[in-house]
Amino acid sequence: MKILSIETSCDETAISLVEAKGKIDSPSFSVLGNALFSQIDLHQQYGGVFPTLAKREHAKNLPPILEKVLTEAKSFKTAKNIYSEELWNEIEEILKKEEGLYPNFRALLEPVEKPEIDVIAVTLGPGLEPALWVGISFAIALGKLWNIPVIPVNHMEGHIFSVLTNDNKKKIGFPALALLISGGHTELVKIEKLGSYKLIGKTVDDAVGEAFDKSARLLGLPYPGGPEIGKLAEIAREKNLPHNAKLPRPMLHSHDLNFSFSGLKTAVLYYLRDHFDYLTENPKELSQDEKADLAREIEDAITEVLEIKTKKALENSDFKTLIVAGGVIGSPRLRNVFQNFETIYPDLSVKIPEKGLNTDNSIMIACAGYIRVLLDSEILTYPQQIRAKGNLELE
Ligand code: KG4
Ligand code: ZN
């Protein structure tokens, strides 16, 4: 089955054409075409993602990204006058809220043959609603033009299934535990079987990626902060710098599986205020070593909380697989810590997405879309009203 997948939930515009094969316990995927445009540079000046800007950029970038993907997949063949004016009117209506998208959509696709695609999978949520809508409208317009079914995909299910492109020798065993760590989410999810989820822990305030990003901002580091903190922390370890900075490990010993990270950035702020006159007229400049020491402490505090809570969750049930997914698992330190769980728990297999698939992408949306089709092939035929859901939860 050939799946065209579209992801626009945040600041990445991504499209892939993926060929999916195999049964539900051994799916396999080959990427025929893939393109991703990150808006990080644009949002950097705001220290985070600015929703209306993200929406406008998605609308601008989707047609050229689609062209790149179809060209890479050798599915971009010219044709003449194959679509009626009536059909174009319907498509204009579908795209009317997405500034500038219709003329570019038409210019790109009017002279092109319908490619060999069986289904279009698009991110429904969670995410920024204005951004989600662009991808959804684009997917519906493509489905209309080419007469192909469009199915909605939960972005978090996408993160979970981002591990399906790993080598398939190790299947996901059930029950599985997923630790989802991104800029918007920090969740522990029990997966009884494919498609059946129970949230057993989550952040009560900031997500872990937010804690990295906000702390990094206080240190004057660019967005996204996670990788910047990680690089500095590594310098502190290599130089074996003294541990001067001390930060709390929020909710480490609470009896539940919830997290809290907003106190961490406040603790960073207080540390800077108390030791470097931050918030006064003459704040002291931190040396590179002082920055590295604080970055290491931030990373250690986050790592310890994630590690201990995940261990606690593993005591809950006879979990066979641990999946750790989401942007934050790009951290080499966290990857090491969780990979090492296979030594601590010999019966547990640990799955972490391949490099590049931990942050938002559309390949994971194709993987999750395929699983949805395998779970219920009728989703390809029943008519659906796809509406963006910013707060969509796993269920
Ligand atoms: O999953 P993602 O790409 O987007 C969301 O759905 O939120 O996650 C983005 C988050 C950002 O907060 C970023 O700082 C963090 O992932 N991140 C990292 C690393 N790469 C991205 N955090 C720590 N280490 C990394 N290497
Ligand atoms: Zn994400």
The pLDDT value recorded for residue 382 is 82
- 98: which 2 tokens? 């997405």
For 384, the token pair is 């659906």
> For ligand 1, what atom is nearest to the CA of residue 155?
6
Query: Could you tell me if the CB of 326 is within 6 A of ligand 1?
Result: yes
At the second CATH level, the architecture of 173-351 is: 2-Layer Sandwich (3.30)
Helices (H), 76-207: 85-94, 101-109, 129-146, 155-161
Nearest residue to 333 via CA among 304, 376, 374, 293: 304
Pocket test for ligand 1, best of 359, 360, 363 (most atoms within 8 A of CB): 359
Handedness of CA 294, 299, 300, 301 (dihedral sign): positive
The pTM assigned to this predicted structure is 0.95
d(C-alpha 337, C-alpha 278), whole Å? 33
Q: What class has domain 2-160+358-380?
A: alpha beta
Gyration radius of the chain over CA positions: 22
- Which ligand has the shortest distance to the CA of 329? 1
Supply the pLDDT for residue 32.
97
Task: With beta carbons less than 8 A apart as the criterion, state whether 390 and 185 touch.
Answer: no
**C-alpha 169 – ligand 1 centre gap (Å):** 27
* Six-digit token string for 169: 């020798």
The enclosing H or E element of 357 equals none
Our mutation pick for probing the ligand 1 site, out of 212, 352, 355, 361, counting the most ligand atoms within 8 A of Cβ, is 212
Judge whether 2-160+358-380 and 173-351 match in fold: yes
- Rounded Cα–Cα distance for residues 357 and 376 (Å): 25
CA 351 to chain centre: 16
Residue 47: predicted pLDDT:
66
CB-based burial label for 41 (10 Å; 0-12, 13-18, 19+): exposed
One digit per residue, pLDDT tens: the chain, 395 residues? 999 999 999 989 999 999 999 999 899 999 999 999 998 888 777 767 788 888 999 999 999 999 999 999 998 888 887 899 999 999 999 999 999 999 999 999 999 999 999 999 999 999 999 999 999 999 999 999 999 999 999 999 999 999 999 876 678 999 999 999 999 999 999 999 999 999 999 999 999 999 999 999 999 999 889 999 999 999 999 999 999 999 999 898 898 999 999 999 999 999 999 999 888 888 899 999 999 999 999 999 999 999 999 999 999 889 999 999 999 999 999 999 999 999 999 999 999 999 899 999 999 999 999 999 999 999 999 877 899 999 999 98
d(CA 193, CA 258) in angstroms, rounded, equals 23
And the tokens for 46? 């705001």
Ligand 2 center–CA 153 separation, angstroms: 12
Task: Write the single-letter amino acid at 117.
Answer: I
**Amino acid symbol at 34:** N
Q: In the structure encoding, which two tokens stand for residue 232, read together?
A: 């500095």
Q: What is the pLDDT of residue 203?
A: 97
d(CA 272, CA 266): 10
- The full set of domain ranges for the chain reads 2-160+358-380, 173-351
The pLDDT score that the predictor gives to residue 168 is 63
Distance 31 CA to ligand 1 centre (A): 23
User: 326 CA distance to ligand 2 centroid (A)?
Assistant: 6
